[in-house]
Amino acid sequence: MTSKEPSGKPATRVSSDRGALVSTLVHLWPYIWPADRADLKLRVVAAMVLLLFAKLATIAVPFTFKWATDALAGHGSAPVASSAWLAWALAAPVAMTIAYGGMRVLMAALTQVRDGVFAKVAMHAVRRLAFRTFEHMHQLSLRFHLERKTGGLTRVLERGRAGIEVIVRMVILQLVPTILEVGLIAAVLLFQFDC
């Protein structure tokens, strides 16, 4: 009996010799975006939306700091009237400093919520792959099991499971956000400065 991918296609063999990240992600994608689990697809979409909002908050942090500094230096758009100017001079830096702190907290909170939302997807992928490995191991011949050391096989399986978890977490929760952030920062720099 041949094992099957979640999409119903025959499973393909992945060799550590090829070891390409893109190839590995292509093979892991059916586990991250399972065809039979709409709830997990919704979690992936929600995690990506939270990622986008977290990165937008990250981009907004320097602007709030700039506005607070400008307000302290008196370069803001404050009214010139004496009583209104005094109120604005005191309130603007405080408001912008609070906005700066709020954006920092929002950025961290959105990142934590995103990680929490995506955790179920990552654990589902790891569980499915571990189960497939478990099934495959039990379909091997008795001679294979008699010639192998059980402890060594268990250690290899545990390292493989941990490696898959690291790949899913690092690529989806670290690499993609970093690429998105670099793109957003490049867009801000191109918009703010004439290049």
Task: For residue 6, tell me if it sits in a domain.
Answer: no
Task: For residue 173, tell me if it sits in a domain.
Answer: yes
Task: For residue 13, tell me if it sits in a domain.
Answer: no
Please give the pLDDT value at position 140: 81
Please give the pLDDT value at position 113: 92
Q: Which domain holds residue 96?
A: 51-192
Please give the pLDDT value at position 28: 81
CATH of the domain at 122: 1.20.1560.10
Task: For residue 64, tell me if it sits in a domain.
Answer: yes
Task: For residue 2, tell me if it sits in a domain.
Answer: no
Comparing C-alpha atoms, which of 33, 11, 23, 30 is closest to residue 132? 11
Task: For residue 71, tell me if it sits in a domain.
Answer: yes
Please give the pLDDT value at position 42: 93
Domain count of the fold of the chain = 1
Are the CB atoms for 88 and 76 separated by under 8 Å?
yes
pLDDT by position in tens, the chain (length 195): 445 555 555 555 555 555 577 787 788 888 888 888 899 899 988 988 888 888 888 888 888 777 777 777 766 543 344 455 555 555 667 777 788 888 889 888 988 998 888 888 888 888 888 888 888 888 888 887 777 776 777 788 888 888 887 887 787 778 888 888 888 888 888 887 775
Please give the pLDDT value at position 1: 46
